Amino acid sequence: MADSTGDSVRSWRPGLAGVAEVLHARFVEHAYPLHTHDTWTLLLVEDGAVHYDLDRRGHDTSTLVTLLPPHVPHDGRAATTTGFRKKVLYLEEDALPAGFAGRAVDDPELPDPRFATAVRALHARLGGHPEPLDVESRAAVLLDALGGHLARTRVRPVRDVPLARRLRALLDGHVVEGVSLADAATALGVSGAHLVRTFTREVGMPPHAYLTGRRVDLARRLLLSGHRPAEAAVLAGFHDQPHLNRHFRRVLGTTPGRFTA
């Protein structure tokens, strides 16, 4: 559904193994802030061009398929004044080996045109009334091809020192109720200031921004499962629906009510 800016977002759960969410969107003005997902993001830009930063390195993509790994901060905005139209498959974290994340950071673009053809064909079938065996087969072949591509890409570990990784695990385990900086510092045996500095340096965003992004991700899943926005807000750890609306629109460029319309 389009809003007054001409931006539009449609998202749904496809009921397909390995795929957590399908999203089709057009954006002219919206710019994604720095955020993370607990899924792989398989992005196809159909029109226009996108500039994004991934792990502090800038990239531009237009007709290429792009694969962004879980838990690595990235943003995104139109690279031209005419905006862009995109289709995204959010792949479950275990759909690809965790060890491939660093390879995707180093080489997120997939220049082989066969990837674009396969992704476009899968989206076309998911948008209608798919024949299960057809979409399951296409998804399986696509995931296998992605794994093969990453297996041939050189390895670079994702930056994630032990302290930052431990705080990330703590935040991931308390998405809804949250955790205070004092409690986190006590649990990890360091000062709060050192914890914030280390997490921000290694992950690329401060702890509170990471936690808010995780709550937005949880809210979108609740919405896709049929919860009303007011319910999703509370269940995802926001104070109320206006609190969710503010962060949801900032991250996703649309309101919770329009997200699944």
What is the predicted pLDDT for the residue at 56?
Answer: 86
Average pLDDT of every residue of the chain: 90
Residue 221 — pLDDT band, cuts 50, 70, 90? very high
At 132, give phi and psi (nearest 5°).
Answer: -50, -45
Q: Could you read off the pLDDT of 115-139 as tens digits, one per residue?
A: 999 999 999 989 777 778 888 888 9
pTM of this prediction?
A: 0.80
Strand partners, 12: 22
Amino acid at 125: R
Out of 21-30, 80-89, 126-135, 175-184, least confident range: 126-135
Give the number of C-alpha atoms closer than 13 A to the C-alpha of residue 202, restricted to the C-beta side. 19
Structure-block tokens of residue 147:
């794994």
What is the predicted pLDDT for the residue at 233?
Answer: 96
Strand partners, 54: 57, 74
Do domains 8-151 and 162-259 share one topology? The answer is: no
Structure-block tokens of residue 164:
């930052």
What is the predicted pLDDT for the residue at 158?
Answer: 58
* 162-259: CATH, from 3.20.20.210, 1.10.10.60, 3.30.70.20, 1.10.645.10: 1.10.10.60
How many CB atoms neighbour CB 223 within 10 A?
A: 22
Please check whether the domain covering 8-151 is classified as CATH 3.40.50.150.
Answer: no
Q: Where are the domains of the chain?
A: 8-151, 162-259
The proportion of the chain whose per-residue pLDDT surpasses 90, expressed as a percent, equals: 69
What is the predicted pLDDT for the residue at 144?
Answer: 87
What does the pLDDT average to over 149-154? Answer: 84
Distance of alpha carbon 56 from alpha carbon 225, whole angstroms? 33
Q: Could you read off the pLDDT of 2-59 as tens digits, one per residue?
A: 555 678 999 999 988 899 999 999 999 999 999 999 999 999 999 999 999 998 889 9
